[in-house]
Amino acid sequence: MSSLATEICAPLAVLGRDVQVPLVNGEKVGYAALDYAASSPALQRVWDDVAAYAPYYGSVHRGAGYLSQLSTDLFEQSRRTVAEFLDLREGDQVVFTRATTDSLNLLAGAVPAGTRVFAFETEHHASLLPWAHAGLDVHYLRAPRSRAEAVAALDAALAGAPEGPKLLCVTGASNVTGELWPVAELTETAHRHGARVVLDAAQLAPHHRVSVRALDVDWIAFSGHKLYAPFGAGVLAGRADWLDAAEPYLAGGGATRTVARETDGSVAVQWHTGPARHEAGSPNVIGAYAIASACRALTEAGFDALEARERQLVDRLTAGLAEIPEVRVLNLFGATGDIHSVARVGVLSFVVRGWNSSHFSAALSAEYGIGVRDGLFCAHPLVRTLLGDEDAAPSECGAPEPSLPGERSLNAIRVSFGAGTPDEHVDRFLTAVRELVTDGAAWNYRNEGGRCVATVQIDRGRREG
């Protein structure tokens, strides 16, 4: 039986794994990077590939010289590598962007006028906001409390929608709870009603194999800096028709086929179709090459093994937190069920009874060398829904100011990890949470310019006495 079990790989080598950071008591400790959901460390392999290419760096699509030709080939090969990684269909395009936010704003500008966009209010702001910003009509769907409810809510909303083009924007994995969304079912529902789908894979692609063909989504977006390739590039990939028919995202060199002065003094432009239409300006070849390198590295490590390892870490984390009654893990789906039953990537948010989340996160950093994130994670409506009122921050250390009159100050703590995370980081995190909850912080903290900083050591003997 055990021979059938998926092999679990060792953590992949990432930069920063040996970095020592100072603790508030003057000691040094290896940094535990547990904020992969914000930006993951670079894979060593990506760094090495970029360093090996760097001497050959040259302009892309603009030079006759050898290095320009080589760089152009590398850029276009990177596009093909990403297409393979995403298992794109014949005719799908890969557009290199700056990141997911850029990709979704690009698509919002390419959506035909009159399109009605559907998005759950639980989305990251990058998926929630570009549509109305581009002047489109948006139908926000209320936070569903189960996957089945999400599919049913979309079905009902689309059934009642007027004729005309429609688009659903949905995340693959939540950046707050890490929970997986039922992308295939939502896409099947959307397509049945004639709506297209764009998948925000910012948190999914670094953790899971993603097949655009199998999921049948129309577009997908992700960021290089969350996929171990922090060189300023991202991806929008998918169907060509709306992209080719749209105005170019940016006007400038590279997007144009011809530009001619007319006799009346105006300038007539013929724009390219294909990815070049939306990639005006000198392309970020290093960013694109770094993403392609990460795609190759993850594929070679094998997603079965990577996912198995991550599941093991997620289980370790959720089991450890479940033993601390003061900790409340935030789940949208299965909120009342066993947290073990929640399918998630290595992203989890929680609050600690009696603690302000900024204070807790600051103590994790200052006293244990652990880097997590606190706040509302650019998903304000979702975090507010998950926290409700009862978790209003009990102290003011670093807590965000309430933005509306009468609103209470809320935030949470997010721990996230991925392919480079050693077991020790999760274990140290659990030990730290247990100690902080049981013994309290060893230092006092105060809010300085919005940051929670350690001030003086607490005399534990005096306090206990």
Ligand X SMILES: Cc1ncc(COP(=O)(O)O)c(C=O)c1O
Tell me the catalytic residues: 378
* Residue with the two structure tokens 């290595």: 346
**How far is Cα 446 from Cα 267, in angstroms, rounded to an integer?**
59
* Residue with the two structure tokens 């006799």: 263
SS in 3 state form for 135-148?
A: CCEEEEECCCCCHH
* Residue with the two structure tokens 């994670």: 377
What are the DSSP calls for 386-441, one per residue?
Answer: HHTTTT--SS-TTPPPPSSTTPPP--EEEEE--TT--HHHHHHHHHHHHHHHHH--
Tell me which stretch binds ligand X (CB under 6 A): 61-69, 121-129, 146-154, 391-399.
121-129
Annotate each residue in 386-405 with x if it binds ligand X (CB under 6 A) or - if it does not, as one string.
--------------------
Which residue lies nearer to ligand X by CB, 382 or 454? Answer: 382
Which residue lies nearer to ligand X by CB, 200 or 391? Answer: 200
Which residue lies nearer to ligand X by CB, 124 or 344? Answer: 124
Our finding on whether 374 is near ligand X (CB under 6 A) is no
Which residue lies nearer to ligand X by CB, 35 or 367? Answer: 35
Q: Between vectors from CA 272 to CA 270 and to CA 278, what angle results, nearest 5°? A: 120
Q: Is 162 helix (H, G, I), strand (E, B) or coil?
A: coil
Which residue lies nearer to ligand X by CB, 143 or 458? Answer: 143
Please state the closest distance from residue 142 (CB atom) to ligand X, in A: 19
**Which listed residue (35, 49, 200, 310) binds ligand X by CB under 6 A?**
200
Our finding on whether 421 is near ligand X (CB under 6 A) is no
Q: Could you tell me if 297 and 228 are in contact, meaning their C-beta atoms sit under 8 angstroms apart?
A: yes
Could you tell me how many residues of this chain bind ligand X (CB under 6 A)? 14
Which residue lies nearer to ligand X by CB, 298 or 379? Answer: 379
**Which listed residue (79, 116, 124, 309) binds ligand X by CB under 6 A?**
124
E strand or H helix at 71: helix 66-85
Please state the closest distance from residue 351 (CB atom) to ligand X, in A: 19
Tell me which stretch binds ligand X (CB under 6 A): 81-89, 199-207, 318-326, 391-399.
199-207
Tell me which stretch binds ligand X (CB under 6 A): 200-208, 241-249, 430-438, 449-457.
200-208
Which amino acid, residue 332? L
**Which listed residue (126, 217, 330, 399) binds ligand X by CB under 6 A?**
126
The residue sitting closest to ligand X, measured at its beta carbon, is 175
Please state the closest distance from residue 383 (CB atom) to ligand X, in A: 13
> What part of residues 165-184 is at the interface with ligand X (CB under 6 A)?
171, 175
Tell me which stretch binds ligand X (CB under 6 A): 45-53, 144-152, 186-194, 198-206.
198-206
Of 315, 334, 313, nearest to 423 by C-alpha is 313
Tokens of 65: 């010289």
Strand (E) positions, 60-211?
A: 93-97, 116-120, 137-141, 166-171, 195-200
Please state the closest distance from residue 222 (CB atom) to ligand X, in A: 8
Which residue lies nearer to ligand X by CB, 126 or 286? Answer: 126
**Taking the CB of residue 289, how many other CB atoms lie within 10 A of it?**
25
Our finding on whether 202 is near ligand X (CB under 6 A) is yes
Q: Could you tell me if 94 and 79 are in contact, meaning their C-beta atoms sit under 8 angstroms apart?
A: yes
Please state the closest distance from residue 126 (CB atom) to ligand X, in A: 4
Q: How many residues does the chain have?
A: 465
Pairing of strands 347-352, 412-416: antiparallel
Please state the closest distance from residue 39 (CB atom) to ligand X, in A: 8
Which residue lies nearer to ligand X by CB, 206 or 254? Answer: 206
> What part of residues 212-231 is at the interface with ligand X (CB under 6 A)?
223, 225
Please state the closest distance from residue 414 (CB atom) to ligand X, in A: 10
> What part of residues 72-111 is at the interface with ligand X (CB under 6 A)?
99-101
Strand order in the sheet with 116-120: 93-97, 234-238, 219-223, 195-200, 166-171, 116-120, 137-141
Tell me which stretch binds ligand X (CB under 6 A): 69-77, 145-153, 196-204, 310-318.
196-204
Of 108, 414, 97, nearest to 224 by C-alpha is 97
Of 235, 192, 197, nearest to 86 by C-alpha is 235
Please state the closest distance from residue 10 (CB atom) to ligand X, in A: 26
Pairing of strands 137-141, 116-120: parallel
Residue 167 CA to its chain's centroid (Å): 21
Tokens of 394: 């009990």
Which residue lies nearer to ligand X by CB, 24 or 227? Answer: 227
Please state the closest distance from residue 171 (CB atom) to ligand X, in A: 5
Residue 398 CA to its chain's centroid (Å): 24
**Which listed residue (115, 203, 416, 421) binds ligand X by CB under 6 A?**
203
The contact set with ligand X (CB under 6 A) reads 99-101, 124, 126-127, 171, 175, 200, 202-203, 223, 225, 378
